[in-house]
Amino acid sequence: MSEWWRGSVTYQIYPRSYQDSNGDGIGDLQGITGRLPYIAALGVDAIWLSPVFPSPMADMGYDVSDYTDIDPVFGTLADFDALIARAHELGLKVIIDQVLSHTSSAHPFFQESRKSRDNPKADWYVWSDPKHDGSPPNNWLAIFGGGAWQWESWRQQYYFHNFLVEQPDLNFHNPAVQDWLLSTMRFWLERGVDGFRLDTVNFYFHDALLRDDPADYRRKAKRDWNPYHMQYHIFSKNQPENLAFLERMRALLDEFDGRTLVGEMGESHHPIEMMGQYTSGRRLHMCYSFEMLGPNFTAGHFRRLITDFFTGAPNGWPSWAFSNHDVIRHVSRWAEHGASPAALARQAGALLLSLQGSICLYQGEELGQVEGELEYHELTDPQGIRFWPEDKGRDGCRTPMTWDAALPNAGFSTAKPWLPVKANQSVHHAAGQIRVADSVLEFYRQMLAVRQGSEALKTGNTVFFELSEPVLAFSRGGEVLCIFNLSPATLSVRLEGIGECLVSQGAVQEGQRLKLAGSGFALYRVAGTVVAGA
């Protein structure tokens, strides 16, 4: 079977915000299809579409009410088929989001389940009697605030929801639920999708005994804005039964040639270890966590993540990303570490595309896009609405794609967009960077070409050099040397035995000394033994 996914680069599309083709202010499938040549020209291998299924949009599509259709706001199944055909014509694979841990409360199965304790779908969701005092069965918390149990008067029971009240969790202990979910995945596989991104892949099973989650014993560096983070979630998720279900899922994909599974590890305790566990054996092909999606931008941090993963799971495979639809864009998040926003954007691209594993780029990342600073009245994200102002939610990274600053709404839509395009974002537009030397976009194209042309960068093993902060240096497959100055200050290192420079920024070689400006980096084709020292 084809392993095209190993070392691949996937471009994540947030459909609501990519391209509006019908003037309603919301991106759609036809708009995405029209932009596929732009994506193919970047040099990526695949696209990942965030959910496009029918949904009340309480959580912007992550509350699915029909798993085998397209929401009218995005188009039709015919539009989806046309997108698949065009992507394949351009040599792009297509991965779609699967939100399996829960459905929308509007899903017909939940509407049936909530009505009584003896209907055909009564045991398809997680129900429990109250304690004698009427309180919920345990102390589990919801990610979007409050308790994770909601009272249902028809059944005189509580139902479990890890996220919003409108997102009831499915009962994976019921084999019929597993069978049904696999059948919905088969529907899309037969329609031609090349794989699935699995939302919150470690959330599927809950502890059947409903035991309380213990307190998180770790000392917090600062006050936490969400009480969910004050518990150690060893019973509400992360159950061992998850692994057997992933094996069933993998067996389904193995019926088709060249299909792939990439899981989102929503976990703050031992996520790298769990990534390895979930990708070892016949389970997921790839998995990612939020470890590279946070504020930490040090050589030691990146070195530890790569080392820990491949030491703990030599037969597993990671997927790495710096930005996505859930976190502050990395050019804003790491701004203090960069010589300039553009220099930081190019360096981040070079670093990410040099890492061992598969890579995911988020739309606009190739333009050096920054976070949108929204006002409270502009928010749509329930997380931001609930926890403002300590957490402003995820809308700032979900704002529309900026195609051309000379056009209304930066070319995204002729109508008022569902989220505003801010002035600090419009300046990072595609039309202003195409075929412009030193632009972030052209650099991404160059760096992607370097990676695609090097098997060492795609799949080669990593050997790190023990240098002091802020220098990160490593070789890939014994063939490429990668050196990064993760600070805004100029510094120098000593090199021996290097070959031609493949790509660089702010790097000046003087004999055996390499001077790196702030956010500087260089990738060399190795010729012989490499010795690096500070």
3-state secondary structure 427-470: CCCHHHCCCCCCCHHHHHHHHHHHHHCCHHHHHCCEEECCCCCC
pLDDT tops 50 at residue 25: yes
Q: Print the SS3 string covering 106-133.
A: CCHHHHHHCCCCCCCCCCCECEECCCCC
Percent of the chain at pLDDT > 90 equals 93
Q: Is 520 helix (H, G, I), strand (E, B) or coil?
A: strand
Mean pLDDT of 225-242: 94
Place of tokens 């696999």: 182
Task: Using DSSP, state whether 375 is helix, strand or coil.
Answer: coil
- Chain CA centroid to CA 174, Å: 29
d(CA 181, CA 186): 9
Closest by CA position to 236, among listed 142, 145, 129? 142
Q: pLDDT tens digits, residue range 388-443? A: 999 999 999 999 999 999 999 999 999 999 999 999 999 999 999 999 999 999 99
For 53-100, write each residue's pLDDT tens digit.
999 999 999 999 999 999 999 999 999 999 999 999 999 999 999 999
pLDDT given for residue 84 in this prediction: 98
Q: What is the pLDDT of residue 267?
A: 86
Strand partners, 156: none
Q: What DSSP line would sit under 30-95, residue for residue? A: HHHHHHHHHHHHHT-SEEEEPP-S----TTTTSS-S-TTS--TTT--HHHHHHHHHHHHHTT-EEE
Does pLDDT of 223 surpass 80?
no
Q: How far is CA 351 from the centre of its chain?
A: 17
- Burial class from Cβ neighbours inside 10 Å (0-12, 13-18, 19+) for residue 218 reads exposed
Residue 453: which residues within 8 A CB-CB, separation 6 or more?
none
pLDDT tens-digit readout, 325-361: 999 999 999 999 999 999 999 999 999 999 999 999 9
Rg (CA), the chain: 23
* Cα separation, 202 vs 262, whole angstroms: 12
Helix (H, G, I), strand (E, B) or coil at 410: helix
Catalytic residues: 199, 255
pLDDT digits 0-9 by tens, 472-523:
999 999 999 999 999 999 999 999 888 999 999 999 998 889 999 999 999 9
Distances (CA, A) of 50 to 20, 93, 324, 363, 398: 15, 15, 10, 11, 11
Question: For residue 293, is pLDDT > 50?
Answer: yes
Per-residue pLDDT of 126-179, as tens digits, reads 999 999 999 999 999 999 999 999 999 999 999 999 999 999 999 999 999 999
Q: Are 39 and 5 in contact (CB under 8 A)?
A: no
pLDDT at res. 527 = 59
Q: Would you place residue 1 in the very low, low, confident or very high pLDDT band (cuts 50, 70, 90)?
A: low
| Tokens of residue 201, six digits | 């892949």
The burial of 156, by beta-carbon neighbours within 10 Å (0-12 exposed, 13-18 middle, 19 or more buried), is given as exposed
**Confidence grade of residue 530 (pLDDT, cut at 50, 70, 90):** very low
- Sheet containing strand 46-49, strands side by side: 286-288, 260-264, 195-198, 93-98, 46-49, 9-13, 358-362, 319-320
Query: Is 531 a residue whose pLDDT tops 80?
Result: no
Q: Which residues, listed in sequence order, are joined to residue 482 by a DSSP beta bridge?
A: 474, 523
The answer to whether 169 touches 162, Cβ cutoff 8 Å, is yes
Longest Cα separation, the chain: 80
Whole-number mean pLDDT of the chain? 96
> Which domains does the chain carry?
9-103+175-451 (3.20.20.80), 461-533 (2.60.40.1180)
What percent of the chain has a predicted confidence (pLDDT) above 70? 98
